[in-house]
Structure formats: structure tokens, C-alpha cells
């Protein structure tokens, strides 16, 4: 067993390369070092003919991975360093590596899967969720944006469900995650060890998983799908809110309340990211997201969102601008401007 750094474990078990996210007290939130370690070992295992598949799981009973190390990025914002942008660059490069991985990549998820946790699972070939899954992309609530390739995979969710998740940051369970294409299998966490043993013995991923895959659970949002698709097809965030207000249902009223509490800048940026992402490849989405995220992570709203939600925990962020009307089209366009020498780049032969 190897440790690239104290919070992640790498082990070659027979024909399996096994990754364990090992920060259970922090819900296995990703650090910069964890991302670098994953990229290193995934690259090594690609070239190792003895490794037939890779699996990743999270330590502890509460979470697979709750996201990236937001506190560390907030410190970079406060101190005006390049650390946050460097972290995002390497995290997005890892997401691209996973998305193009030539061998089966099996994410054995359980409990909380959010933000960066989605980045190291949803891009993989096999995404196993258990009955306790709580999936979310909650970034608009801290003045950030759905990233880690979310403009790619959320924009490809059926109908307008991806935009619904991006703007609200709402949590969904396994039934909805499978209906939206975010998870591929329902496998209770109690069966993870058996799947790991089969993969270590060199069994094909599909065959190793099949005996433990349960039926899809009901999708809680199924009854709201037509409403979501009609409302979130609006041409702007303002249009979405207008349709929610006109709808008059309890679901629409609660959804509008949640969206109005989010950062106006984050909302408009998330909307534009998903609309653009529909016609882009995964790597193109990651490049686009890096342009926006490298700027947004150093902004006032991110600093304020982290303060209100994670530090002071008063739940009363003071967004600037404080309304959607205050966020101009030119402001959003600026987030998509090229970064010159600081652009996120992938090898010319990289798939994705």
C-alpha cells in the first residue's frame, strides 16, 4: 500500500488498482495532494498491463466524498495566492484523465457525493450508488459554480434536470441520480468488498458488479419532471424564476425560494456554463470551466459564501451584486475570456 499524502491510499490488489479517500472526519473532501496522487497512480496503472481495472471508495460510513477542500481555496482567496487556481487546474486535469481512462474505472460511492466527489466518480465508466446516496452540486450557495466537468455531465442529464440541479444545488437520492444518468448501478455498500475481490481476481467489471446490482429505486422527482423541463427551459435565470412564480405549486415556490438565496453572479454563470456545455466535449467544458472558476474563486462572492456557510455559519451571505439585475451580460462574458498562458491545456492526443 502506498500513500501519496496522508489522506489517500493506493493499493494494487491483484488485477485491481484500488484508491481509498481517507479523510472520513472531513467527509473525504479532496485536497490538492489527493488529486495529484490520483493522477500519478492512474497514469502508472494505465501503463501497467497487470492492472485490469481501477476502483475508488471513501473511508467511513457517512460519505464517499463531500467535495473539494473549500477552506483551503478560501485561504488562497484571502491571501491572494495562486494556490486555489493551481488546485483547480490539477483537479480538472484529474477529471479529464478519469473521463478518458482506457480501463474500467469503478466508483464505489455511498452517502454524500458532492462537488469534487462527483468529479472523481461521475466521469468514470461505472458509478455505483447505495441507498444512502445524497448527490448534489451545491456551489451556487457559496458564491462559486458547478465545476469539475459539471457543464458536461449536467447538461447531458435528461430534459432540464441538470440545470435544476445546478441552480438549486438540491440534493437528490439514488433513484433520481440513476434516472438522470449520474449513477449507473444500485449496489449497497455492504457488497463493495465482494466486488473488490472479484475485480482483484481479474473478473470483468460488468461481471463483477452484476450479482450485487439491485433494481433501480423510485425517482423522487419523477412527478415533477414535466414541470422542471417546462420551467427550466426558460432563456434566462430571471425567466426561470418568473415561470416558477407563475406555476403556483408548493414545489415551484420552494424551488424559487432556494434559487433566490443563491449568489446572483453564480446563478447566471451556472446558467451560461450549462447552455454552452451542451455542444462541447468534456475537455472543452473543463477548459471553459477553468477560465471561469480561476476568476470566480478569487472573487468577493466566494469569500462571502464560505464565510456565511462554513466559517461564521450565519447563513446570511451578502452577495455583490445582491440581485440578478445587478449582474450584467458583460460581467458574465468576462469569466469566459481566454487566460493566455494560464489556460488549462491537455496533451494533444488526449481523448475527451
Length of the chain: 352
**Measured over all CA atoms, what is the biggest interatomic distance in the chain, rounded to whole angstroms?**
59
Interaxial angle between packed helices 161-168 and 237-247, expressed in degrees from 0 to 180 and rounded to the nearest 10:
100
Cell 463531500 maps to which residue?
A: 66
Q: What is the DSSP letter of 214?
A: B
Considering just the CA atoms, what is the radius of gyration of the chain in Å? Answer: 20
User: What amino acid positions are annotated as catalytic residues?
Assistant: 68, 116, 139, 147
For residue 65, what are the contacts with CB-CB under 8 A and spacing of at least 6? 21, 27, 28, 29, 30, 58, 109, 112, 113, 114, 116, 117, 120, 121
Which three three-digit cell numbers place residue 65?
Answer: 466524498
- Which grid cell is 34? 489527493
C-alpha distances out from residue 334 to 131, 159, 275, 295, 327, Å: 41, 28, 16, 9, 12
Contact 215, 185 (CB under 8 A): no
Q: Which three cell numbers stand for residue 302?
A: 466566494
Amino acid at each position: 500500500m502506498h500513500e501519496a499524502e496522508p489522506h489517500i491510499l493506493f493499493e494494487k490488489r491483484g488485477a485491481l488498482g484500488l484508491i481509498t479517500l481517507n479523510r472520513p472526519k472531513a467527509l473525504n473532501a479532496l485536497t490538492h495532494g489527493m488529486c495529484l496522487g490520483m493522477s500519478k497512480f492512474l497514469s502508472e496503472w494505465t501503463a501497467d498491463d497487470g492492472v485490469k481495472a481501477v476502483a475508488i471508495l471513501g473511508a467511513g460510513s457517512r460519505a464517499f466524498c463531500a467535495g473539494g477542500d473549500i477552506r483551503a481555496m478560501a485561504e488562497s482567496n484571502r491571501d491572494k495566492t495562486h494556490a486555489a487556481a493551481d488546485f483547480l487546474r490539477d483537479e480538472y486535469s484529474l477529471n479529464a484523465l478519469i473521463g478518458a481512462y482506457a480501463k474500467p474505472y469503478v466508483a464505489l460511492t455511498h452517502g454524500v457525493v458532492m462537488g469534487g466527489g462527483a468529479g472523481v466518480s461521475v466521469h468514470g465508466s461505472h458509478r455505483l450508488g447505495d441507498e444512502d446516496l445524497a448527490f448534489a452540486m451545491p456551489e451556487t450557495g457559496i458564491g462559486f459554480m458547478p465545476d469539475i466537468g459539471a457543464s458536461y455531465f449536467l447538461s447531458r442529464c435528461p430534459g432540464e434536470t441538470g440545470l435544476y440541479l445546478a441552480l438549486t444545488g438540491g440534493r437528490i437520492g439514488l433513484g433520481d441520480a440513476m434516472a438522470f444518468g449520474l449513477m449507473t448501478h444500485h449496489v449497497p455498500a455492504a457488497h463493495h468488498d465482494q466486488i473488490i475481490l472479484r475485480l482483484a481476481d481479474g473478473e470483468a467489471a460488468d461481471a463483477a458488479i452484476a450479482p450485487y446490482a439491485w433494481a433501480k429505486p423510485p425517482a423522487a422527482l419523477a412527478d415533477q419532471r414535466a414541470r422542471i423541463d417546462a420551467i427550466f427551459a426558460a432563456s434566462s435565470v430571471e425567466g426561470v424564476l418568473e415561470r416558477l412564480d407563475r406555476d403556483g405549486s408548493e414545489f415551484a415556490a420552494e424551488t424559487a425560494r432556494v434559487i433566490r438565496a443563491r449568489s446572483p453572479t453564480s446563478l447566471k454563470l451556472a446558467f451560461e456554463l450549462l447552455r454552452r456545455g451542451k455542444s462541447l466535449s468534456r475537455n472543452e467544458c473543463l477548459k471553459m470551466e477553468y477560465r471561469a472558476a480561476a476568476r470566480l474563486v478569487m472573487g468577493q462572492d466566494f469569500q462571502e459564501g464560505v464565510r456565511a456557510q462554513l466559517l461564521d455559519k450565519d447563513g446570511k451571505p451578502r452577495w455583490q451584486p445582491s440581485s440578478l439585475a445587478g449582474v450584467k451580460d458583460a460581467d458574465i462574458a468576462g469569466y469566459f475570456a481566454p487566460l493566455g498562458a494560464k489556460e488549462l491545456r491537455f496533451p494533444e492526443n488526449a481523448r475527451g
